[in-house]
Amino acid sequence: MPELPDVQVFKQYVDSTSLHQTIRKIDLRSPELLGDVSAEELKQHLLDHSIHASRRHGKYLFLRLDNSASVVLHFGMTGFPVYFLNQESAPDHIRLLLTFSSGYYLAYDCRRKLGLIDLAGNEQDFIDSKELGIDAFSEHFTYKTLKDLLKNKKGSIKSTLMNQKIIAGIGNIYSDEILFQSGIHPKSCAGALDDSRLKHLYNEIKRVFQQSIQSLASTRAFPKEFLLPNREPGAECPLCGGNIVKQTISSRSSYFCNQHQTDIS
DNA sequence: AATATTGTTCAGCA
DNA sequence: GTGCTGAACAATAT
């Protein structure tokens, strides 16, 4: 379930393995994942070129090539990148496979085919075409930005946080985590949160993402006071001892504490 | 075998 | 057009 922290870790992974290597071969095994680019065009841009930088916006990862175009990857529910040398280490559902001149491979694996492989001449134009909002981990995402974005919003705070056109990067899992840490009920009206709650929310977005990126990148051990390891109905709330309950909110299953996330504003 | 899973997109409604 | 909700879709595990 790659949301912002997962994709940030993918970015770090690609940065530390795959930059500045000439691509000798490209094997597109699931062309149905292509966006507005043809297989031919993609191959043309990749072959004999290299990735010289990467950038993440929300849940999208851009691999910037040395010819100024960028490969765009979206990981859907089940996607991830794998860098490997021996075939025994190859993942099971490779959709795109790059072979570097070093002999190493970079695979885009996606068990369920709910991802996207695309090519962007200009990354900002791509972001605009998807109407993506500001990245939730960007330094330009300030408290004031959040306050302005939520002002006058009529929907629940959960569905608002998950709306990629308002803020990019937050999905079902992390909206639950952020609201849990902020002590805000997921059904609270987004536009009705007072300054104190908004401040909490802002701080927790930053803190949860920073902590999660750290946990995913190293030990994968999330802090035990996170909701994530306790995300099942009937579990004991690690913050207050209440009960974790499951409820469908904006047609997604949400988990929250029935004790410290009770009041709906 | 039916159900749950998630991000995106789109139909439908006020 | 705008803002919002809910459902469809992909493929697989349980």
* DSSP per residue, chain A: ---HHHHHHHHHHHHHHSBT--EEEEEES-GGGB-SS-HHHHHHHHTT--EEEEEEETTEEEEEETTS-EEEEE-TTTEEEEEESSGGG--S-EEEEEEETTS-EEEEEESSS--EEEEESSHHHHHHHTT--EETTSTT--HHHHHHHHTT--SBHHHHHH-TTTEES--HHHHHHHHHHHT--TTSBGGG--HHHHHHHHHHHHHHHHHHHHHHHTT----TTSSGGG-STTPBPTTTS-BEEEEEETTEEEEEETTTT----
Nucleotide C6: nearest residue by CA–C1'?
Answer: A251
A81 touches strand B (CB under 7 A): no
- Identify the pLDDT of residue A14: 95
Residue-wise pLDDT for A89-131, tens only, equals 889 889 999 999 999 999 999 888 888 999 999 999 999 989 9
Strand B: which residues 15-74 of A lie within 7 A (CB)?
A: 58-60, 74
Confidence at residue A117, expressed as pLDDT on a 0 to 100 scale: 93
Answer for A149: CB within 7 Å of strand B: no
A130: how many CB neighbours lie within 10 A of its CB?
Answer: 19
**pLDDT score of A32:** 86
Residue A88 has pLDDT above 90, yes or no: no
Q: How far is the CA of A86 from the C1' of B12 (A)?
A: 51
Listed by range, residues with Cβ under 7 angstroms from strand C are A 77, 93, 111-114, 152-156, 159-160, 190-191, 250-251
- Residue A175 structure tokens: 């909206």
Q: Could you tell me the pLDDT band of residue A45, with boundaries at 50, 70 and 90?
A: very high
C chain positions with any atom within 7 Å of a protein CB: 3-12
- Residue A187 CA distance to nucleotide C8 C1' (Å): 24
pLDDT at A9: 93
pLDDT value, residue A142:
95
Give the nucleotide at minimum CA-to-C1' distance from A77: B6
Per-residue flag: A133 CB under 7 A of strand B: no
Q: Is the pLDDT of residue A218 over 80?
A: no
Strand B at less than 7 A from CB of A171: yes
Between CA A90 and C1' B9 the distance (Å) reads 32
Residue with the two structure tokens 């001892």: A241
pLDDT attached to residue A4: 93
Using the structure, give the distance in angstroms from the CA atom of A249 to the C1' atom of B13, rounded to a whole number.
Answer: 19
A128 touches strand B (CB under 7 A): no
Q: Say yes or no to pLDDT of A251 above 90.
A: no
